């Protein structure tokens, strides 16, 4: 049943009074969607007309306020004040109706329109055929097989890296020849190096020591 489906989809125990009659009069989700859209458009038009009435009344209020400021007669001012009061009451009444009636209903309509649009879109989406399901299953199996092969190759490469390579006798002999060749090259390089001889240290010649003052005095006495 359409009502139960909508309640379950929107998580509602009961449907709002604004939309319950629409669902009851609809024979399908698509028809209910069109009825909700029409109801939303009607209330949006009514709200727009009410807002226009508010603008007209506010303009008239402004004119009367200007007239009252210029008026010198108190009785005339009192009459203008009463007219302005009536206009303000009328504006408040219209604004209250806009918020409590039109805005409220429009919000509810929008929520249900969005939910029904989703429901209708899902219902109209074609289910895949048996052939399409089989093709999808085959592709999924191929991808799974490719993945298994990739994993197996990766594991094999990992095992190869960690396993010690097997060397037969002939390969070992060749490796030993490589080793001997390397050793011969090292010996030849050492033989080609120039012989190292330590450098002889030169004796440092001490500078001639100047005679002390007492010694110079003795020498002078001897000369005399």
pLDDT in tens, 154-169: 555 554 555 566 666 7
Are 8 and 106 in a shared domain? yes
**Residues 6+ away with beta carbon under 8 Å from 110:** 40
d(CA 176, CA 179): 5
User: What residue numbers bound the domain in which 141 lies?
Assistant: 128-162
Same domain, residue pair 49 and 26: yes
**Strands, E assignment, the chain:** none
More confident residue, 195 or 85: 85
Rounded-to-integer distance, Cα 22 and Cα 24, Å: 5
pLDDT band at 97 (very low <50, low <70, confident <90, very high): very high
Name which residue leads in pLDDT, 3 or 88. Answer: 88
Residue 18 shares a structural domain with residue 113: yes
Residues 22 and 69 in one domain: yes
Give the span between the Cα atoms of 160 and 51, in whole angstroms: 82
Q: Is 91 part of any domain?
A: yes
Residue 55 has pLDDT above 90, yes or no: yes
One domain, residues 44 and 152: no
pLDDT in tens, 111-153: 888 888 887 777 665 656 677 667 767 776 776 777 667 766 6
Count how many domains the chain has: 2
The verdict on 36 and 114 lying in the same domain is yes
Question: Does 157 lie in the same domain as 113?
Answer: no
Pick the range with the lowest mean pLDDT from 39-43, 62-66, 171-175.
Answer: 171-175
Residue 29 CB burial class (10 angstroms; 0-12, 13-18, ≥19): buried
90, 107, 82, 80: which is closest to 55 by C-alpha? 90
Shared-domain flag, residues 30 and 56: yes
115 and 132 within one domain: no
Q: Is residue 37 part of a domain?
A: yes
Query: Which of these ranges, 83-97, 136-150, 205-219, has the smallest mean pLDDT?
Result: 205-219
**Model pTM score:** 0.51
* Assigned domain for 215 exists: no
What are the structure tokens assigned to 86, written together?
Answer: 């009536």
Cα 202 to Cα 188, 199, 206, distances in angstroms? 35, 9, 12
| pLDDT recorded at residue 162 | 55
pLDDT mean over 85-109: 93
Note whether residue 192 is domain-resident: no
């Amino acid at each position: 049943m359409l009502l139960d489906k909508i309640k379950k989809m929107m998580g509602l125990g009961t449907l709002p009074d604004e939309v319950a009659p629409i669902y009851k009069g609809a024979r399908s989700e698509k028809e209910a969607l069109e009825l909700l859209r029409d109801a939303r458009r009607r209330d949006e038009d009514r709200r727009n007309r009410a807002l226009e009435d508010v603008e007209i009344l506010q303009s008239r209020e402004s004119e009367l306020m200007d007239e009252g400021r210029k008026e010198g007669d108190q009785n005339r001012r009192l009459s203008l004040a009463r007219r302005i009061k009536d206009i303000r009451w009328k504006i408040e009444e219209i604004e209250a109706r806009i918020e409590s009636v039109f805005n409220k209903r429009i919000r509810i309509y929008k929520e249900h329109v969005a939910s029904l649009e989703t429901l209708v879109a899902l219902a109209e989406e074609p289910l895949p055929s048996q052939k399409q399901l089989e093709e999808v299953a085959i592709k999924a199996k191929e991808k799974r097989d490719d993945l298994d092969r990739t994993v197996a190759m990766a594991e094999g490469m990992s095992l190869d890296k960690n396993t010690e390579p097997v060397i037969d006798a002939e390969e070992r002999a060749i490796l030993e020849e490589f080793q001997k060749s390397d050793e011969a090259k090292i010996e030849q390089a050492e033989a080609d190096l120039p012989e190292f001889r330590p450098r002889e240290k030169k004796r440092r010649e001490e500078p001639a020591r100047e005679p002390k003052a007492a010694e110079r005095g003795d020498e002078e006495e001897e000369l005399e």
